Amino acid sequence: MRKQLNYQIPRKGLTVWRLYGLFNTLVVSVLMGVACFLTYYFEWPSFIVYIAIALVLIVGLASIWLFPNIRWDHWRYEVREHEIEIQYGLFIVKRTLIPMVRVQHVDTSQGPILKKYDLANISISTAATTHIIPMLVTNDADSLRSRISTLARVAEDDV
């Protein structure tokens, strides 16, 4: 059995994911609210209202509670001298191995919400792919970025 990767997303990341889920749910509830209003206005059959309410509940439950939990649970990463390994996914657990030699550049990015929580995303680009490690504490993200770029520069192509 391959060993579990060392690092997890900080707990704060989970909170942000829940926040995103909340926004999602709000959008869905607005749409469903419109649907309910239309049903009331045009006197459509009333089961539409029940479906709408059920949908809001399901979306809320899934995107605020269930999905962030599972996702957070699955997220692991490790930056070693010669490769970067990340594990992520909701229903399908994906584990990606990127040789350090292939890394072309590393970016960090931070939106307003992430900034408020002092978090940042790192994206690692190779010639063909881009991989994102989300929700790292800003300081960690910055030091990780410079570490990866140093390692990538040192890594020699000897295969």
Site for another protein in 69-108 (CB under 8 A): 81-83, 89, 91-99, 101-102
Residue with smaller CB distance to another protein, 110 or 125: 125
Q: Which residues of 54-70 are buried (b: 16+ CB within 10 A; e: fewer)?
A: eebeebbeebbeebbee
For position 153 contacting another protein by CB under 8 A, the verdict is no
Report DSSP letters for 28-47, one per residue.
Answer: HHHHHHHHHHHHHHHT--TH
To another protein, the closest distance from the beta carbon of 99 in angstroms equals 6
List the x/- string, 116-145, binding to another protein by CB under 8 A: ----------xxxx-x--------------
Residue with smaller CB distance to another protein, 77 or 114: 77
Query: End-to-end distance of the chain based on CA atoms, in angstroms?
Result: 26
List the x/- string, 50-69, binding to another protein by CB under 8 A: --------------------
Report the length, in residues, of the chain. 159
Taking the C-alpha atoms of residue 110 and residue 101, their distance in angstroms, rounded to an integer, is 26
Taking the C-alpha atoms of residue 82 and residue 101, their distance in angstroms, rounded to an integer, is 7
Binding site for another protein (CB under 8 A): 1-2, 81-83, 89, 91-99, 101-102, 126-129, 131, 157, 159
